[in-house]
Amino acid sequence: MNMPMGMNASAGAEVQLLADGTYDIRLVQLSLQKKLLHIEEKKQFNLGLDQLKKITLKGPLAITLTGRGVLIKKTARLESLTEQSLRHLFPGFKAEEFYLQHFKSADHSFVAFVRKELADPVLLAFKKLGAEVLLFGLGPFVVDQVIPQLNNYEGDLIFDGHQVRLNAQKAWLDYQFTAGLKNEFDLKLGIELIPEQFLLAYAAAFQLILNDRLELVEVESEEVKHALTEFNAKLKFQKNGAAVLISFFVLLLLNFLIFSFYHSANGQLAGKAGQRSDLYAGRQKLETEVKEKEKQVKQLGWNHGEHYAYLCDQIGQTVPGTILLTEISVNAIKGNSTGSPDKNELETGSMRITGQSASVYVINDWIYALKQKPWVKALQLQKYATDDQKGVQVFTFLLNY
């Protein structure tokens, strides 16, 4: 049977008070697994209350009391029981001495009584056994909860001495008990056979496991009702606590996944930033090297856009025949410095020309001729002297291009 989630186990016990003072106890254990209801076990005991330790219970317990001392009265339907109506049904009724149960069906009310001095020892004995007694009923009326499950097609429901006359809507019209009366057919709950002597115990366990969804058939006992209310409150707290805990872990998991995602993204960004940093560092290094090369090129005078061979050829074309050139230095080192261009400042964009001539006039004419060249920016005579041994004039001038 498919059931909603709630209590996941219950036990039902029919305790029949026998004439000899012993008890015939029929016990049914139910469990709810994956929303399916299962009958775990069915057991029957005939013993005294001091022998209850032979019984093993799983889950909370619902008891229905039948047999000697349980009185049942039928009357026209009463919406509520008043002291006057109770005294009419049972003239000797005293509320402090009896447990009372009111079952309404169709146009009738069935009122069951039992003296507390008979019922309390039973409740106390089960509590001493460690059972949580959460429902307590009288007579066969709890079976009304499972009538829709039964394969009963006749107008009367007969089981274990109980005879219930039903109308077409399965409402109760009458009830009587005849010892030894049995149903001529096997009773089934759906497709599962159930011995008829266990039907009331099953119905009690069924009503308990679905207590929050059924209109309960039970005695008017505040103590028992309080126990059920407290049990349900604890169960609800546990479920809500579990839901909160699950929600908390889901939030933690979500937080972890989000953190992992952003941590991974941050790692990727950090990697990209590192690559860009390396690229930037490499770029800066290249820019520094380029600047150094440009500086060297500038120092060497290679960036003036003129080919040295062309300049020398232009100079050679203008040299008078009486002038002997002894040196042409392109981008010569300033002054008389010696060493590499990296350590000495060069005369960039310039040519130092040294030679000798027999006449100063020839030198002046040549200087004038060079100044007429469009690529010559300036020309300055730096040195002029007479070499007495050779009898010639030695000169040096600086040409800027």
- Report how far apart, in Å, the C-alpha atoms of 50 and of each of 19, 56, 128, 133 are: 17, 14, 10, 18
Q: What is the mean pLDDT of residues 252-275?
A: 83
Cα 154 vs. chain centroid, distance in angstroms? 55
Predicted confidence at residue 237, as pLDDT, reads: 67
Residues 334, 339, 345, 350, CA torsion sign: positive
Is pLDDT above 90 for 342?
no
Radius of gyration of the chain (CA): 60
Q: How many CB atoms lie within 10 A of CB 165?
A: 14
By the 8 A CB rule, do 146 and 157 touch?
no
Domain at 9-220: CATH code: 3.30.420
Give the pLDDT confidence of 28-47 residue by residue, as tens digits.
999 988 888 899 999 999 99
pLDDT exceeds 80 at position 88: yes
User: Which H/E stretch holds residue 264?
Assistant: helix 222-300
What pLDDT score was predicted for residue 242? 59
Q: How many CB atoms lie within 10 A of CB 329?
A: 15
Q: How far apart are CA 170 and CA 157, in angstroms?
A: 10
Q: Is-contact 29 40, C-beta < 8 A?
A: yes
308-400 maps to which CATH number?
A: 3.30.70.2830
The model carries a pTM of 0.62
Mean pLDDT score, 58-84: 92
Q: What is the pLDDT of residue 92?
A: 80
Question: What's the sign of the alpha-carbon dihedral 288, 290, 296, 298?
Answer: negative
With a pLDDT cut of 70, the percent of the chain lying above it is 90
Considering the chain, what is the average pLDDT of its residues?
86
Q: Give Cβ neighbours of residue 255 (< 8 Å, ≥ 6 apart).
A: none
Is the pLDDT at 391 greater than 90? The verdict is no
